[in-house]
């Protein structure tokens, strides 16, 4: 009887531990905690981002709700994007951005009619291309443009038009592609301005839209250069810690980028 009691007690303890572990891995709770970690992102300390990535990876595709599984993968892709843009070793940068692209691709397979995953796969690929070099990465240009086209055609997870994701991100990305590409490979200042003006006109509260548009403008006529100076001065008159409060970590970097450009004009 005593042996049975001990055995029963041991089994009960194991089951209790298992139940506790399952409760600790509730996908919805893990997602919310990871989102909180992501919102604490910092350019100088990647601890909260690393924690978010690790915890999200543990609950990939474990939720009963397909939308939650989608959200988990998209957030993981966004966290990997942030991490990749703040690493110095270029091989690590490429590896992390490929992981970010892969997570977003997996999300897109779950919910192909949402714009978000297509967009985040694309921007991770774009950053991989930067680290890999423009010319060696030309074979990926079609895929990158396709990601932006898919994002623009769909609606976001929240129901907004796909072209509005991340502050008119698809327009910003395409504008930057046409600005960075050599003319012989399809680069075009005119096309860059068209896309960046769309992003700027519709989402001035995203600092990078202002900076990129100003940079392309600055390569044109005296009047365009004057316009670039004007919009940069308007941006830099703001406080990056109160300008678009959802993007303060990005603001701190993008305002510096804007100031550097302004000093050159």
Q: Whole-prediction pTM value?
A: 0.90
Q: Given this model, what pLDDT does residue 124 score? A: 98
Among 137, 136, 110, 113, smallest CA distance to 125 is for 137
Q: pLDDT-based confidence at 22, cuts 50/70/90?
A: very low
Alpha-carbon distances of 252 from 5, 242, 243, 249, 256, rounded to whole Å = 62, 10, 10, 5, 7
pLDDT tens, residue by residue, 88-133: 999 999 999 999 999 999 999 999 999 999 999 999 999 999 999 9
Q: How many CB atoms lie within 10 A of CB 11?
A: 10
Among 183, 208, 167, smallest CA distance to 191 is for 183
Contact present, 38 and 75 (Cβ < 8 Å): yes
Q: Given this model, what pLDDT does residue 24 score? A: 52
* Mean pLDDT taken over the chain: 93
Residues 246, 75, 200, 134, CA torsion sign: positive
Residues in the chain: 265
Residue range 40-50: mean pLDDT, rounded = 96
Could you tell me the domains of the chain? Answer: 25-160 (1.25.40), 189-265 (no CATH)
* pLDDT above 60: residue 5: no
pLDDT tens, residue by residue, 221-231: 999 999 999 99
């Amino acid at each position: 009887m005593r042996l049975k009691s001990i055995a029963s007690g041991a089994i009960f303890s194991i089951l209790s531990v298992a139940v506790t572990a399952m409760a600790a891995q509730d996908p919805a709770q893990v997602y919310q905690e990871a989102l909180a970690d992501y919102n604490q992102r910092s350019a100088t300390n990647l601890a909260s981002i690393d924690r978010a990535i690790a915890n999200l990876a543990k609950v990939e595709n474990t939720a009963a709700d397909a939308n939650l599984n989608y959200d988990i993968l998209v957030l993981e892709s966004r966290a990997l994007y942030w991490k990749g843009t703040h690493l110095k070793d270029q091989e690590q940068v490429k590896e992390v951005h490929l992981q970010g692209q892969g997570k977003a691709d997996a999300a897109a397979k779950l919910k192909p009619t949402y714009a978000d995953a297509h967009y985040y796969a694309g921007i991770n690929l774009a950053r991989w291309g930067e680290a890999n070099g423009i010319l060696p990465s030309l074979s990926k240009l079609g895929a990158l443009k396709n990601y932006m086209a898919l994002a623009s055609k769909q609606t976001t997870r929240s129901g907004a038009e796909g072209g509005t994701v991340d502050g008119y991100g698809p327009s910003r990305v395409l504008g930057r592609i046409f600005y960075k590409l050599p003319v012989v490979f399809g680069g075009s200042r005119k096309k860059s301005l068209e896309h960046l003006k769309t992003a700027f006109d519709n989402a001035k509260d995203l600092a990078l839209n202002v900076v990129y548009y100003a940079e392309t403008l600055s390569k044109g006529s005296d009047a365009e250069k004057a316009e670039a100076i004007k919009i940069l001065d308007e941006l830099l008159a703001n406080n990056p810690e109160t300008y678009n409060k959802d993007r303060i970590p990005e603001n701190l970097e993008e305002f510096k980028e804007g100031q550097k450009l302004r000093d050159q004009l």
